[in-house]
Amino acid sequence: MRLVGLLVLGALVFAAPSFRPAEAQAPAKAAYKGVVTPIGPYSPGVGISGTVYLSGQIGLDPATNQLVEGGTEAQAKRVMENLGAVLKEAGLGYANVVKTTIYMVDLAEFTKVNEIYGGYFPAGGVPPARSTVQVAALPRGARIEIDFVAVR
């Protein structure tokens, strides 16, 4: 009798409807390519619910997909231009950027990068929140990488 009860209980467990909440419909996402071919399995930009998340960019030349020459300053300019292309594709500009992260191999070059970076944001506007960190290395031997979060 006990075995029959366990078998019936087991059948009820397998036949019972799931008690997990219904799967919510995921919000629609939009992908933005920008001008540089990604060096990994990621999107250069993804928009969802009025926010666009831009992947970190290094100073790759869109024509060659190789790092630009000229060191940190040249790479910083190219990074900002590459990020600008993703923003433009999303219908946004630098004024829409609310958060950035800068990754640098050498923080001794921060002053140069800060000057270049700051020149891309509208004068008199509210600059984005920002974090800057020194890292041991970046992809392809880059000296700098920057990512953005922007809102509509």
pLDDT exceeds cutoff 70 at 4: no
Residues 56-77 have pLDDT tens digits of 999 999 999 999 999 999 999 9
- The third-level CATH classification (topology) of the domain covering 28-151 is 60s Ribosomal Protein L30; Chain: A; (3.30.1330)
Under 8 Å between Cβ of 90 and 46: no
Alpha-carbon dihedral 94, 26, 57, 137, rounded to 10 degrees: 130
pLDDT exceeds cutoff 50 at 13: no
- Cβ density class 17-55: b for 16+ within 10 Å, e for less: eeeeeeeeeeeeeeebebbbeeeeeebbbbbeeeebbbb
Under 8 Å between Cβ of 68 and 60: yes
The pLDDT value given to residue 47: 97
Distance CA 101, CA 131 (A): 5
| Residue 6: pLDDT band with limits 50, 70, 90 | very low
Residues 19-46 have pLDDT tens digits of 555 567 888 999 999 999 998 999 999 9
Compute and round to an integer the Cα radius of gyration of the chain: 23
- Cβ density class 119-149: b for 16+ within 10 Å, e for less: ebbeeeeeebeeebeeeeebeeebbbbbbbb
Main-chain dihedrals φ then ψ at residue 36, nearest 5 degrees: -110, 135
